[in-house]
Amino acid sequence: HGTRAAYVRDRCRCAKCTTVNTAASNEMHRERTFGRWEPYLDAGPTRAHIEELRAAGIGIDQIAKLAGLSPSHVRGLIYPSSTGKPPYQRVRRETAERILAVPVEDSSRAANSHVDATGTRRRLQALIAVGWAQAWLARELHRSPANFRRSMIADTVTARTAQLVNEMYERLWDAPPPQHTSSQRNASDAARAHATLQGWMPPLAWDDIDNDPDPDPNQPHTSSDDDALDEIAIERAIAGDTRVHLTYAEQIEVVRRMSERGRSIRTIADLLSTSKRTVSRHRRQGSAA
């Protein structure tokens, strides 16, 4: 519901479909009044986007579902008809916009489709490394201990599992685990000890937890940059110049100075075009220097 296609093709007259159809009709009238009405577009870009989605493991039925279209309509853009007619060469503007709005990412995949488990596994390991017990995480995900352990070692997980773990990770990565009782404290200590034994990295060890190579726990960062700091570059960055190139050491110094001036992690992250986790790590390294 909530589409003009449903209003016209399926004759749905629910409030959502009626509202969308009225808005589309008004827009059409305005465009025609000014001589700008072009209901159809070249189907090439839309077809290319469908192929990109399919290459990422997002099937036609799922594309149609996310775009609010019928699967047959999506198929008509990439396959010849049963009578031998070529795929659609023109597509309605609304249809093109709906398909192009489907992002090429794991979150677009069907819940039961399988995705690479690297990011999921690293997120779980990182939470354990900062003291979240496996049993607690399993309960949070509504999974049995055996199912949770499979997610820790599998090469692939379902898209739904990856999404649930990512949502949990975003809630917990910088939150302390429960420490109210001796049992909770013991479980947290055991989780950290197990992670250390396994060589699992905490959240702040990652810039891009899905794509970074495995870090060396004994060498948090390696760089060929000169250790000498460029004071002019540092001050330009602090002043808001986003074009200046900073070495790794200079980034840490910028974070240190801006933190001393009371700037928030979010503000610093936006200034340096980086993540809040990276700024948090730079803060820790700057304090230890």
For the stretch 163-188, pLDDT in tens is: 899 999 999 998 999 989 999 999 99
- What is the secondary structure of 45-92 as a DSSP string? HHHHHHHHHHHTT--HHHHHHHHT--HHHHHHTTS--TTSPPSPSEEE
The pLDDT tens digits for 198-247 are 888 888 878 788 887 776 545 544 444 445 788 888 888 888 887 777 77
Q: Give the mean pLDDT of 58-77.
A: 88
Confidence band for 144, pLDDT divided at 50, 70 and 90:
very high
Indicate if the pLDDT at residue 26 is higher than 50. yes
Share of the chain above pLDDT 70, in %: 88
156, containing H or E segment: strand 156-158
Mean pLDDT of the chain: 83
Beta partners for residue 114, in sequence order = 158
Helical residues (DSSP H) of the chain, grouped into ranges: 4-9, 15-33, 44-55, 60-67, 71-76, 93-100, 118-129, 134-140, 145-153, 159-172, 182-198, 231-238, 248-260, 265-272, 276-288
Whether 274 shows a pLDDT value over 80: the answer reads: no
The answer to whether the beta carbons of residues 249 and 258 sit under 8 Å apart is no
Question: What does the block give as tokens for 92?
Answer: 């309605």
Q: Which residues contact 3 (CB under 8 A, 6 or more apart)?
A: 17, 20, 68, 98
pLDDT at 286 over 80: no
Burial 213-239 (b: 16+ CB within 10 A, else e): eeeeeeeeeeeeeeeeebeebbebbbe
d(CA 136, CA 122): 17
The position carrying tokens 């201990």 is 145
CA proximity to 100, closest of 57, 131, 69, 135: 69
Q: Tokens representing 47?
A: 């077809």
Query: How large is the average pLDDT for residues 112-133?
Result: 91
Rounded to 10 degrees, what is the CA torsion of 58, 62, 67, 69? 130
Q: pLDDT confidence of 8, banded at 50, 70, 90?
A: low
Does residue 258 surpass a pLDDT of 80? yes
Length of the chain: 289
Q: Smallest Cα–Cα separation from 168: which of 140, 205, 210, 201? A: 140
CA distances in angstroms from 98 to 17, 101, 216, listed in the order given: 15, 5, 44
| Residue 22 pLDDT grade (very low, low, confident, very high; cuts 50, 70, 90) | confident
Q: DSSP code of 201?
A: P
Angle at 46 between CA 43 and CA 52, to 5 degrees: 140
Please report the domains of the chain, with CATH numbers, ordered by start residue: 4-108 (no CATH), 114-205 (no CATH), 231-288 (1.10.10)
Q: Report percent pLDDT > 90 for the chain.
A: 21
Q: What is the pLDDT of residue 171?
A: 93
Q: Is the pLDDT of residue 6 over 70?
A: no
The secondary structure of residue 40, as a DSSP letter, is E
Give the pLDDT mean for 28-54: 81
Tokens of 90: 């023109």
Residue type, 12: C
Q: Which amino acid is at 289?
A: A
